[in-house]
Amino acid sequence: MSKVNSSNMELELYRPNIEDYLPTDSIQEPLGKLKLRDLLDISPTLREAGGAIVDAIERKLSIFFSVYVGRLRVISNLDSEDSFTRCFKSNPPETWNWNVYLFPLWCLGVVVRYGILFPVRALILTSGWIIFLSCYIPVHLLLKGHDKLRKKLERALVELICSFFVASWTGVVKYHGPRPCARPKQVFVANHTSMIDFIILEQTTAFAVIMQKHPGWVGLLQKTILESVGCILFNRSEAKDREIVSRKLREHVEGAENNPLLIFPEGTCVNNNYTVMFKKGAFELGSTVCPIAIKYNKIFVDAFWNSKKQSFTTHLLQLMTSWAVVCDVWYLEPQNMKPGETPIEFAERVREIISARAGIKMVPWDGFLKYSRPSPKHRERKQQAFAESVLRRLEDK
Amino acid sequence: MGNTSSMLTQYDIEEVQEHCNNTFSQQEIVSLYQRFCQLDRNSGGFISADEFLSVPEFAVNPLSQRLFRMVDGLNFKEFVAFLSAFSSRATLQHKVEFIFKVYDFDGNGKVAFSDLLDVLRDLTGQFISEQQRELVLTHVLEEAGYKKDSLLVLSDFMKILGNTGLKMEVEVPVD
């Protein structure tokens, strides 16, 4: 139970400010005196219940952003779905091998994958790590004085180890578009499916990424190697962290020497069929945003990392025993905030560009909801809003 | 779940369609059946209360308790008939009837002050005191020409809600 409570707390701390997402003119709309029909008309509530039962796709604000204010005219046209868990469901592949002639072939495939491919890949990865560490440690320790050279070498080495990682899954990555380069006032955003997104992108360009602190060997890597590339770490469950992080982001973007900053604005891993709402943090830094779209080809392996179900190590092992990781990476045209556009609108616009390019659907869910179930607080919020409107309109004469 | 549409024959679909007065198309009925099977996890042929509660958006809906009572233990045909009020093809009369049924908890065809108060309580929670709620209700009732102890029937509801254009449509996802 305590786990649920702490994640509820996280939700409260990191929930995006709902008012930011509501269209600004809707709340102030004069609604007039309260009449009997306003109280009897429960159709909005019923519609949401009906939509939930039916798992509908509506052209209205999603239930978590709706406010019961009598005749509130909903202006935005986001899609809403009942189970936001759809975004985080790893779609199990349909069993195609239960069949007399396909099953033996599949068994043969398993033998090849686990018996031949996996050892070879493990070997490649191990030798990659040996080479990397034997170059990285000397460079890191000996070249303490020559920062520029050291940074350059470390960058190249990080790219190298990422290439080894990609090779260990037989990664076939097709890059489209211009390669990113390090320039100040530039931020890269991408949709997020798994931590391997970072590795795939890091292969060609040494990005500095902002990531959640992880435990275990990943955490160790974060603190040592990734720190040299300029990664910013945060902890989801710490409230104060948010301000510190946004300050760090700003500083990083201003510096011309820093590696290009990569941000995953969804804030969590989503299965590669949908994008959830982008957090506005990356979009209010006053820099150019360069979108990157990543789409994995599911025929070979489902690259979605369900962090609630498996550890990263298990995920990597799963990848290493699959045939291949095939994906497309598109570096899209840099976008600037248009005059009069709010950061949230900007974020949504970029999300649309990325989703369109990758051919995936957009849903209006907050990624952090993944960490907690809808709580009675949501019901209370709605009740409160309705209650306030009733009282207010009662005053109107 | 598998290919549930193969478990519904043409006759089945037509029967359901007739039962709901053609408010849903055949494709929509197939989708609703898939959804029904998805919700009816233990394949009991009806959706029980906790299976409904497993839909988070339904569980946090202020009117979920009242709707439960109406929808608990329905088989598929009745489930579709229940949902027909949400179809875009539903008549205004049908929608008002549905709303009336939500208010008329004991199903005696009359909505009393206490029923109105109950629904208002569901919608406003602890954010208005009980006295304020009664005051508000009495006030708007009197203003509309009713008394506190009036019993509202369906025709009253039609009169009050009839010309407001109720927006209750839900789109059934059809793939």
Q: Which residues make Cβ contacts (< 8 Å) with residue B58, sequence separation at least 6?
A: A49, A52, A53, B52, B64, B67
Residue A185 confidence (pLDDT) above 70: yes
Q: Which residues make Cβ contacts (< 8 Å) with residue B1, sequence separation at least 6?
A: B34, B37, B38
3-state secondary structure of B56: helix
Render pLDDT for B75-128 as a digit per residue (tens, 0 to 9): 889 999 999 988 888 888 889 999 998 998 888 888 888 888 889 888 888 888
Residue B155 confidence (pLDDT) above 70: yes
Name beta bridge partners: B11: none
Which residues of A, range 13-72, sit inside 8 Å of B by Cβ? 34-59, 63, 68
Closest CA to A180 of A348, A334, A353: A334
Confidence of residue A291 (pLDDT cuts 50, 70, 90): very high
CB atoms within 10 A of CB A244: 12
How far apart are alpha carbons B80 and B33 in whole angstroms?
A: 9
Residue A330 confidence (pLDDT) above 90: yes
Q: What is the pLDDT of residue A97?
A: 67
Average pLDDT over residues A265-289: 83
Average pLDDT over residues A285-306: 85
Confidence of residue A365 (pLDDT cuts 50, 70, 90): low
Average pLDDT over residues B45-63: 80
Render pLDDT for A195-221 as a digit per residue (tens, 0 to 9): 888 889 988 888 888 888 878 888 888
Average pLDDT over residues A124-139: 89
Do the Cβ atoms of B95 and A42 come within 8 Å? no
Average pLDDT over residues B47-59: 78
Q: What is the pLDDT of residue A367?
A: 53
Residue A292 confidence (pLDDT) above 90: yes
Compute the nearest-CA separation of A247 from chain B (Å).
Answer: 36
Confidence of residue A376 (pLDDT cuts 50, 70, 90): low
Phi-psi region of A352 (alpha: psi -120 to 50; beta: other; left: phi over 0): alpha
Q: What is the pLDDT of residue A91?
A: 60
Residue A293 confidence (pLDDT) above 90: yes
Residue A13 confidence (pLDDT) above 50: no
Confidence of residue B41 (pLDDT cuts 50, 70, 90): confident
* CATH 1.10.238.10 residue ranges for chain B: 11-90, 91-166
Closest CA to B125 of A49, A69, A394, A387: A387
Compute the nearest-CA separation of A386 from chain B (Å).
Answer: 6
Residue A68 confidence (pLDDT) above 70: no
How far apart are alpha carbons B95 and B91 in whole angstroms?
A: 7
* Residue A382 contacts B where some CB pair is shorter than 8 Å: yes
How far apart are alpha carbons B165 and A89 in whole angstroms?
A: 38
The percentage of chain A sitting over the pLDDT mark of 70, rounded to a whole number, equals: 76
Closest chain A CA to residue B116: A40
Average pLDDT over residues B137-152: 86
How far apart are alpha carbons B100 and B116 in whole angstroms?
A: 10
Do the Cβ atoms of B127 and A82 come within 8 Å? no
Render pLDDT for A79-103 as a digit per residue (tens, 0 to 9): 333 445 556 666 655 666 677 888 8
* Residue B162 contacts A where some CB pair is shorter than 8 Å: no
Summary mean pLDDT of chain A: 75
Q: What is the pLDDT of residue A74?
A: 30
Do the Cβ atoms of B62 and A41 come within 8 Å? no
Q: What is the pLDDT of residue A146?
A: 76
Q: What is the pLDDT of residue A274?
A: 80
ipTM, two decimals, is 0.87
Confidence of residue A189 (pLDDT cuts 50, 70, 90): very high
Q: What is the pLDDT of residue B3?
A: 41
Render pLDDT for B120-142 as a digit per residue (tens, 0 to 9): 888 888 888 888 888 888 888 88
Closest chain A CA to residue B142: A36
Is residue A94 within 8 A of residue A115, CB to CB? The reply is no
Q: What is the pLDDT of residue A31?
A: 60
How far apart are alpha carbons A100 and A81 in whole angstroms?
A: 39
Q: What is the pLDDT of residue A6?
A: 40
May I ask the CATH architecture of the domain B11-90? Orthogonal Bundle (1.10)
Q: What is the pLDDT of residue A93?
A: 58
Confidence of residue A254 (pLDDT cuts 50, 70, 90): confident
How far apart are alpha carbons B172 and A100 in whole angstroms?
A: 39
User: Tell me, what DSSP letter sits at residue A232?
Assistant: E
Superfamily of domain B91-166: EF-hand (1.10.238.10)
* Residue B175 contacts A where some CB pair is shorter than 8 Å: no
Task: Compute φ and ψ for A58, nearest 5 degrees.
Answer: -110, 160
Closest CA to A263 of A227, A290, A299: A290
Q: What is the pLDDT of residue A62?
A: 38
Confidence of residue A174 (pLDDT cuts 50, 70, 90): very high
Render pLDDT for A333-353 as a digit per residue (tens, 0 to 9): 898 888 888 888 888 889 989
Render pLDDT for A302-319 as a digit per residue (tens, 0 to 9): 778 877 777 888 888 888
Confidence of residue A149 (pLDDT cuts 50, 70, 90): confident
How far apart are alpha carbons A352 and A361 in whole angstroms?
A: 9
CA angle B122, B123, B126 (to 5 degrees): 75
Q: What is the pLDDT of residue A105?
A: 87
Q: What is the pLDDT of residue A156?
A: 87
Closest CA to A331 of A359, A358, A301, A352: A358
Q: What is the pLDDT of residue A2?
A: 40
Beta strands in chain A (DSSP E): 171-176, 186-190, 208-212, 232-234, 261-263, 274-277, 288-296, 325-331, 361-366
pTM of the model: 0.60
Closest chain B CA to residue A94: B2
Which residues of A, range 78-117, sit inside 8 Å of B by Cβ? 82-83
Residues in A closer than 8 angstroms to B98, CB to CB, are 46
Residues in B closer than 8 angstroms to A375, CB to CB, are 60
User: Tell me, what DSSP letter sits at residue A1?
Assistant: -
Summary mean pLDDT of chain B: 84
Choice among A30-44, A67-81, B53-67 with the minimum mean pLDDT:
A67-81
Residue A122 confidence (pLDDT) above 50: yes
User: How many CB pairs lie under 8 A apart between chains A and B?
Assistant: 152
Task: Compute φ and ψ for A363, nearest 5 degrees.
Answer: -130, 155
Strands A325-331 and A288-296 turn out to be antiparallel
